Amino acid sequence: MFRFLCRTTRKVFAEKDLALNLTTSQVGFSQNKIFPLRLLSSSSHLEKGSLETKQSEQKESLTVSYLTNSCGLSLKSAVSASKFIQLKNTERADSVLRFLSDHGFTKTQISKVVRGFPLVISIDPAKTLSPKIEFFRSIGLSRNELADVIARSPKLLSSSLKNHLIPNYNFLKNVVIHDEKIVKVLKRMLWLFSLDLRGKNFGPNIALLKDIGVPQSRISFLVTHIPGAACSKHSKFCKVVNKVKEMGFNPTQTVFVMAVGAINQLKESVWESKLEVYRRWGWSEDEILAAFRRHPHCMQLSEKKITRAMDLLVNKMGWLSRDISKMPIILNYSLEKRIAPRCLVIQVLLSKGLIKENICPSTYLCLVQSKFIKRYVIKFQEVPELLDVYQGEIDLLDAASGFQRHVK
């Protein structure tokens, strides 16, 4: 029995070993068959990926080379621009450069256009660029002005003519009185023309001004001179307009929109700091508000400019500080080019007794240059140094430090 069991056991284990060997052999075969297939598949993908990478690198190399050699971009700018466009060939790009050159763009201007809007060299010149160029020329931009405008704001070429440029122009035309002022907007404030002027801010802001009785001419002034205010967030614009009305400004006058522009620009903390500057020079709250009503820009001047002008006029010329609050526009004039030279001339004339000591400052500081020279320089030719004084051929600061107080 024992021997039978041993033989049986050996037989069973032998059969299991055979089965295990067969299974192992089959698995090994299967693996040997599958592995080469996977290897071939991976190799195929690698070759394909390598080919695509090589093609991409060739396109990038062509693009960067073209942008640097043909468009005048620096290597850094060209690499940056190549992220937005990849050239397969240069045929379209060449036609774009020829088109821009034919329309008066210099090499420098073309370089600026491509750097600011790289996709321009992939646009069809006849189909897309030409109609936009013709549109800008039709509204009054000269050949040279157009090239300058586009070079400074290349993305205007990316705007839809039908859906953006023409509607914006028509909207502005209804807001701005004269067409030539629209051209000014284009030349000086390109970002305004690139906005959606009919959208949620500019359009409603203009409508609000009309509703409260601001004349078309004043609205036109705001848009052409203080466009940032006209484009500000509508909720903020409403608060500013209400504040200006509460200050007593008349909506029919230009100073109303000037005040809107000033308050819109200044943060509350900056407004308070300007109030403090004028308080230090002895102005009361009523005098500050009165000065702001006369000339809103007086609150937009820097503390340094206010202080230097007040120091000259009060401490050197002897004016009363409160008198300056009645003519705040004077503070806006250039100290070096207007205030100091004219004050020096007046000082010379006062020292020689050629003019009255109670002369009103506005009579000489607010005059246009030609009238000032005629009235206070040419008229007194017996004082030969007057012209030298006025033209700054002496050190203005040294002269100013020696001022005597002639004005009571």
Total of domains in the chain = 1
Examine the pLDDT at 240 and tell me if it is beyond 70. Answer: yes
Examine the pLDDT at 180 and tell me if it is beyond 80.
no
Sequence-distant (6+) residues with CB within 8 A of 337 are none
The pLDDT tens digits for 243-269 are: 999 999 999 999 999 999 999 999 999
pLDDT of residue 60: 62
Mean per-residue pLDDT, 47-55: 46
Give the pTM: 0.71
Give pLDDT, residue 394: 56
Q: Please report whether residue 374 resides in a domain.
A: yes
In a domain, residue 362? The reply is yes
- 264's tokens: 């819109």
Report pLDDT digits (tens) over 201-233. Answer: 999 999 999 999 999 999 999 998 898 899 999
Predicted confidence at residue 247, as pLDDT, reads 94
Q: 393 lies in a domain?
A: yes
- The predicted structure's pLDDT at residue 388: 83
Is residue 165 assigned to a domain?
no
Evaluate whether 355 touches 404 at the Cβ level (below 8 Å): no
Question: In the chain, what percentage of residues exceed pLDDT 90?
Answer: 61
Domain region containing 347? 334-401
Is-contact 139 182, C-beta < 8 A? yes
**Cα–chain-centroid distance for residue 55?**
39
Q: Does residue 38 have a pLDDT over 50? A: no
Which pLDDT belongs to residue 61? 84
Give me the DSSP letters along 115-160: HH-GGGGGS-IIIIIHHHHHHHHHTT--HHHHHHHHHH-GGGGGS-
C-alpha to C-alpha distance for 3 and 1, rounded to whole angstroms: 5
Given a cut of 50, whether residue 396 has pLDDT beyond it is: no
Residue 43 has pLDDT above 60, yes or no: no
Strand, helix or coil for residue 190: helix
Between CA 45 and CA 113 the distance in angstroms is: 40
Average pLDDT of span 339-353? 90
* Residue 203 included in any domain: no
Name residues whose C-beta falls within 8 Å of residue 405's C-beta, 6 or more positions apart in sequence: 316, 317, 318
For residue 367, being part of any structural domain is answered with yes
Exposed, middle or buried: residue 215 (CB in 10 Å: 0-12, 13-18, 19+)? middle
| pLDDT tens sequence across 58-95 | 556 899 999 999 999 999 999 999 999 999 999 999 99
Lowest mean pLDDT among 6-15, 278-287, 292-301, 355-364: 6-15
| Strand, helix or coil for residue 319 | coil
The tally of CA atoms less than 13 A away on the side-chain side of residue 87 is 24
- Residue-averaged pLDDT of the chain: 83
Please name the residues in contact with 68: beta carbons below 8 A apart, sequence gap of 6 or more.
74, 75, 78
Q: What is the pLDDT of residue 22?
A: 35
pLDDT at 99 over 60: yes
Residue 250 is assigned to a structural domain of this protein: no
Check residue 12 and give its pLDDT: 42
Q: Please, are residues 184 and 138 in contact by the beta-carbon 8 Å criterion?
A: no
Is residue 394 one of the residues assigned to a domain?
yes
- Of 44 and 326, the structure prediction assigns the larger pLDDT to 326
Question: Can you say how many angstroms the Cα of residue 63 is from the centroid of all Cα atoms in its chain?
Answer: 29
Q: Write the CA distances from 163 to 166, 196, 330, integer angstroms.
A: 7, 10, 46
